[in-house]
Copies of this chain bind each other. A is one copy, B any other.
Amino acid sequence: MYRTHTCGELRIEHQGKEITLAGWVQRKRELGGMTFVDLRDRFGITQLVFDENSSAELKENIKKLGREFVIQVTGTVRERSSKNKNIPTGDIEIEVSKLSILSPSAVPPFTIEDESDGGDDIRMKYRYLDLRRNPVRENLVLRSKMAHEIRTYLNERDFIETETPVLMKSTPEGARDFVVPSRLNPGEFYALPQSPQIFKQLLMVAGFDRYYQIVKCFRDEDLRADRQPEFTQIDCEMSFVEQEDVLNMFEGLTKQLFKTTKNVEVGEFLRMPYSEAMSKYGSDKPDIRFEMLINDISEVVKGKDFKVFDDAEFIGAICAKGCSEYTRKQLDALTNWVKRPQIGAQGMVYLKCNTDGSLKSSVDKFYSEEDLKQWADICGAETGDLVLVLSGAKEKTLKALGELRLEMANQLGLRDKNTFKPLWVIDFPLLEWDEETQRFYAMHHPFTAPKPEDIPLLETDPGKVRANAYDLVINGVEIGGGSVRIFNSELQAKMFDLLGFTKESAEAQFGFLMSAFKYGAPPHAGIAFGFDRLVSLFCGLDSIRDTIAFPKNNSGRDVMNDAPSPIADAQLDELNIKLDLKEDK
C-alpha cells in the first residue's frame, strides 16, 4: 500500500499514529539542522520533518529532494510547535522515519503555486504541470461535481441519459461541420455533431418522454477568444410539455445546482420578453445585477436645432450613478471606446448633474438648463450622476448603449462575480431577416414553434412572429437556450418554405425527421446549456478555457501534444482522399 492517508487528512487526533503518505515535494527548507518538507497531493499539504538525528541514509536521500519529486514517507504524527492556521493539517507534522523517492523531477519550467510565474504559452505546453496548481484543478473538480448534480437532478425526474452518435450525417445548414472520411464507404463522410438536435427530437418521436445527455459538440468555426472547436452541452428534451413546464424544470435544476455546489440561493428567476431586453438593456442577454437602464429620450431632445439628434432615428441615455466628477480625460476615453468599430457609435453626448446642483452637458449651446433637467428626469439622474447619450439607427444604438452600460458597470464595480442573477429571456422573434442574402433565417433553429397566436402572421408579416423560444441568461452570459418544437409536418414544411428551402433540399437534409413525424410525433420542447460556460460562471472565470482539462488554442491546436498533425500517405490512401494544398496559403 502506497499510503495510509492522503496529504489533506491528518489532524491532531492522529497524534502518535504511524502513517505513510505519498505525494509531491512542494517545498523544502532547512532550519536549525532540521529539514522541513511540504508534501502535496490533490487533497492537501502535510508538513514533514526530518530530525537532526535521522539516519545517514535518510539524510542522503533528503539531500536529493527537489521541487516536484514524488516521494513516499513513513513516520509518526506529532503536534506542531508553530501551528499553521491556514491549512486543515496545520496542527500536525510528520516525524519521518523512512523516505523513498518514487520519481525524481527535473526543475519544472514554471512554479507550481497558486500564483504561477509561467506565461500562458508555457503553461499550455506543460498543461499536465499547470493542472497541478490548485486553482486550475479546483475548476475541474467543481466541473465534475456540477455534472454529477445535474445528472442526479434529471435522473430523479425520469430523464433518460441517452448517447447519440458522434459519427453522424453532415448537414450544410448552420456552422461548418467537422467531417470524417469513411474508409468502408469510399467518397463518403461522417460529420461530428454540432448538436444532437435531430436525434433528441427522434427520441421524443420514439416515446422516450424525457431525454438528456452531457455531450461533446463540434463546430469548425474561426476561433474567437472564447470558443473551442469541441465544447460540451447539457442537452435536454421533454414530451407532452409546454414552455412553462420546461422553464420550471430547468429553473429548478439551476437553483439546485447553485445550492448544492455553491451554497447560493438565487430565488425566483425574472422573465423578460426579448423586446424589453433589447429596449431596456440593449442586449438579448441582459446583466441584471445592476439597473442603469436605457432611456429613450428621443422626444425631448429633438427640435432644438442639434442636427445630430434631429437626424437620428433614436436617442437613448443611461445614467451612471455618482459619476458626475468624471474628468475630461475619462469622458474622452469613453467617447473613444464607443467609437471603436465593435461598438460603432458616431460620438457620445454627456450630461453631468454636478454636486453643486448645476447641470453641464457637452451640448450646452443647443439645450437650456430646463431641457437638460428633462433629460435628467427621464433617466432618474440625481445630483452627482452622469448621463451618457448615444444616437443613431435604433437597433444599433440600443446595442451600443447596452455595451456602454456594461463598461460603466465594470468601471463602477457593479458586476460582482459572487452575485448571481438568473433571468429567462422569452418571446424571441421566430425569424431574422438577412439583408445581404435577402432571406429569413431561423433565429433559434428551423424546428422552433411559433407562438400559436402569431401563426396567422406567418402569412402576412413573418418578421413579427414570436417564437416559443427562451434563453437562460445569468449575469449577462447566455447559459442556455431552447424552444418548443414544431411537431406537425405541415407547419414544419411551411417553416422550411419561409427559410428558403425547396421541397427537395428540405427533404435531402431533414427528410428522416419529417418521415418520423408521420408516425405520431408528440408535442415536445427542449433546451441546451453550454456546460463550459456554466462552469466558467460558477468558477468566476472570464474564459471557458480553464474549465477544460486539455483545451485548444485559437488556431485549434493542442500545443501540448502538437495536434493536429500530418498523417501518413498510406492512411490517406486507405481513406480514398489526397491532400489538395493551395499554393497561396
Contact = CB atoms under 8 A, between A and B. Distances in A.
Interface in A182-237: 182-192, 198-199, 202-203, 205-209, 216, 218, 220, 222-223, 229-230, 232
Given A202-B128, A206-B137, A245 B186 contact: no
A216 B166 contact: yes
Contact of A582 (B186, B207, B579): B186
Contacts of A582: 186, 576
Interface residues of A, number: 128
A179 B570 CA distance: 13
A164 B70 contact: no
A188 B3 CA distance: 44
B103 A556 contact: no
B41 A207 contact: yes
A215 to B, nearest CB: 9
A147 B161 contact: yes
A370 interface: no
A2 interface: yes
B555 A240 contact: no
A521 B69 CA distance: 8
A169 B563 contact: yes
A180 B183 contact: no
A58 to B, nearest CB: 20
A183 B229 CA distance: 11
A132 interface: yes
A267 interface: no
Interface in A99-118: 102-106, 108
B141 A184 contact: no
A562 B191 CA distance: 12
Interface stretch (A348-356, A461-469, A545-553): A545-553
B162 A2 contact: no
Contact of A581 (B105, B548, B557, B576): B576
A168 interface: yes
B512 A564 contact: no
A148 B162 CA distance: 12
B188 A512 contact: no
Contact of A206 (B6, B128, B557, B576): B128
Contact of A166 (B160, B166, B241): B166
Nearest to A220: B183
Given A41-B207, A189-B567, A180 B178 contact: yes
A543 interface: no
